[in-house]
């Protein structure tokens, strides 16, 4: 005990979520696995730590948007997404960029887990500390994303140069990725009839870059490119770039694709895009927690969207969820309770 009988000041350790956020914000890539473990957990303790993690990496805490480029990659199964991502990963690393990949896989009916493993899908060097790949199960969610993918992408963008979200590959319904990514690339396989299907679906409304794979097929690939150009003209999206790539030797088109992705990122209003992503994520979480009855309390999806548009731009997901629950009057979720937690009980005296 110090002289005079004063007790030494004890500094409480930072909560694990906040500490993980601090490490990621300083570029510590090794914190990524633990951060995603917290985000994917459903225990009350980890939900609270996830909220602390998101607070630590919010624009208000960082003083800016997270600098990483969030790229969404979507398209039908068999279009060659994973093969293309292997080539993109190698090209990004050759340019000195760190890369995180979130591969969202179909769910197993038995376990609920991911049916495919990341290492079986994307080629990478396990010893490369600049690469992080995680496979997650889509569960029962439609739209091509796993429940934690939104927040995982936001968290990883604070530490990695590029964050890729590869959607589950279910086809025309995969439009949720547009609410998460800074840039969306839609993959099309020539000769598969995908173009005609896209003309009848919502997926052609979301791409910032269109990618025709298997360019080595020659005339078939050229035909797909022409059809896509016609589809874009009908939608009034003439400026959307179409890039033809071949992932088999000799590999071509990959550098052009990276340039097209970078070009879109340079033009986008990142703050506006990320603000929209956080609001969309909070509304999706609210709907998962409280269903359609909770949504009706907010005036439906449109009413909730209008109200969210009036909120501060720098609010993170849990704060927005808390605001939605207060407005609707429904019981607050565990994730939202951490925004205004109860006062902790007084510590017991040491004997």
Buried b (16+ CB within 10 A) or exposed e, 234-250: eeeeeebbbbbbbbeee
Same domain flag for 183 and 76:
yes
Residue 200 pLDDT: 53
Same domain flag for 172 and 85:
yes
Q: For 264-289, what is the mean pLDDT?
A: 91
Compute, in degrees rounded to 10, the torsion defined by CA atoms 289, 294, 299, 305: -10
Structural domain boundaries, residue 109: 69-267
Tell whether 10 is covered by a domain. Answer: no
The string of pLDDT tens digits covering residues 114-144 is 444 444 468 888 889 999 999 876 554 444 4
Tell whether 5 is covered by a domain. Answer: no
Q: For 138-157, what is the mean pLDDT?
A: 72
Residue 54 pLDDT: 93
The string of pLDDT tens digits covering residues 313-338 is 888 888 899 999 999 998 766 544 44
Residue 214 pLDDT: 84
Same domain flag for 171 and 116:
yes
3-class state of residue 184 by DSSP: strand
Same domain flag for 126 and 206:
yes
Residue 265 pLDDT: 96
Same domain flag for 134 and 248:
yes
Same domain flag for 50 and 103:
no
Whether 21 has a pLDDT exceeding 70, the answer reads yes
Contact 276, 253 (CB under 8 A): no
Same domain flag for 101 and 218:
yes
Q: Of 267, 296, 322, at which residue does a domain stop?
A: 267
Which residue, among 286, 287, 297, 272, has the nearest Cα to 319 in the 3D structure?
Answer: 286
Residue 159 pLDDT: 97
Give one word for 266, left, alpha or beta, with left for phi > 0 and alpha for psi -120 to 50.
alpha
Tell whether 260 is covered by a domain. Answer: yes
Same domain flag for 83 and 192:
yes
Tell whether 11 is covered by a domain. Answer: no
Tell whether 7 is covered by a domain. Answer: no
On average, the pLDDT of the chain sits at: 80
Work out whether the CA dihedral 94, 95, 101, 105 comes out positive or negative: negative
Residue 350 pLDDT: 35
Tell whether 346 is covered by a domain. Answer: no
Q: Of 243, 267, 291, at which residue does a domain stop?
A: 267
Same domain flag for 147 and 288:
no
Tell whether 224 is covered by a domain. Answer: yes
CATH number at residue 203: 3.40.50.300
Same domain flag for 55 and 77:
no
Lowest mean pLDDT: which of 137-146, 198-207, 228-237?
A: 137-146
Residue 106 pLDDT: 56
Q: Over pLDDT 90: what percentage of the chain?
A: 46
- How many whole angstroms separate alpha carbon 72 and alpha carbon 103? 10
The string of pLDDT tens digits covering residues 63-116 is 999 999 999 998 877 778 888 999 999 999 999 999 999 988 654 444 444 444
Residue 340 pLDDT: 43
Number of domains the chain is built from:
2
- How many whole angstroms separate alpha carbon 321 and alpha carbon 212? 39
Query: Quick one: DSSP state of residue 311?
Result: S
120 by Cβ neighbours in 10 Å (0-12 / 13-18 / 19+) ranks as exposed
Tell whether 91 is covered by a domain. Answer: yes
Same domain flag for 311 and 281:
yes
Q: For 218-245, what is the mean pLDDT?
A: 83
- How many whole angstroms separate alpha carbon 262 and alpha carbon 24? 23
Residue 138 pLDDT: 53
Same domain flag for 104 and 224:
yes
Strand order in the sheet with 131-137: 131-137, 99-105, 162-166, 69-74, 183-188, 209-212, 242-244
């Amino acid at each position: 005990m110090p002289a005079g009988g004063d007790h030494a000041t004890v500094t409480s350790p930072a909560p694990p979520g906040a500490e993980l956020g601090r490490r990621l914000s300083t570029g510590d890539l090794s914190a990524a696995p633990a951060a995603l473990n917290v985000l994917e957990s459903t225990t009350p303790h980890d939900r609270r730590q996830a909220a602390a993690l998101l607070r630590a990496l919010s624009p208000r805490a960082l003083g800016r948007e997270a600098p990483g480029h969030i790229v969404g990659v979507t398209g039908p199964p068999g279009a060659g997404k994973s093969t293309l991502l292997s080539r993109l990963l190698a090209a990004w690393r050759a340019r000195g960029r760190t890369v995180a990949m979130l591969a969202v896989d179909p769910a197993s009916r038995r376990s609920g887990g991911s049916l495919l493993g990341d290492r079986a899908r994307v080629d990478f060097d396990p010893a490369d500390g600049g690469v992080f790949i995680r496979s997650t199960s889509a569960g029962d969610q439609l739209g091509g994303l796993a429940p934690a993918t939104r927040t995982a992408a936001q968290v990883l963008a604070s530490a990695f140069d590029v964050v890729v979200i590869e959607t589950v590959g279910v086809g025309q319904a995969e439009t949720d990725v547009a609410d998460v990514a800074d840039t969306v690339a839609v993959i099309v396989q020539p000769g598969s009839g995908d173009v005609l299907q896209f003309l009848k679906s919502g997926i052609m409304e979301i791409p910032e870059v269109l990618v025709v794979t298997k360019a080595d097929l020659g005339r078939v690939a050229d035909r797909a490119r022409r059809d896509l150009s016609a589809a874009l003209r009908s939608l009034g999206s003439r400026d959307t770039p179409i890039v033809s790539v071949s992932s088999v030797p000799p590999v071509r088109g990959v550098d052009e694709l990276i340039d097209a992705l970078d070009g879109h990122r340079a033009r986008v209003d990142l703050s506006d895009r990320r603000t929209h992503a956080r609001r969309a994520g909070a509304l999706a979480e609210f709907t998962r927690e409280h269903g359609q009855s909770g949504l009706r309390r907010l005036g439906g999806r449109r009413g909730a969207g209008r109200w969210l548009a009036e909120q501060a731009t720098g609010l993170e997901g849990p704060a927005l969820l808390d605001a939605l629950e207060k407005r609707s009057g429904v019981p607050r979720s565990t994730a939202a309770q951490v925004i205004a937690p109860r006062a902790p009980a007084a510590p017991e005296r040491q004997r």
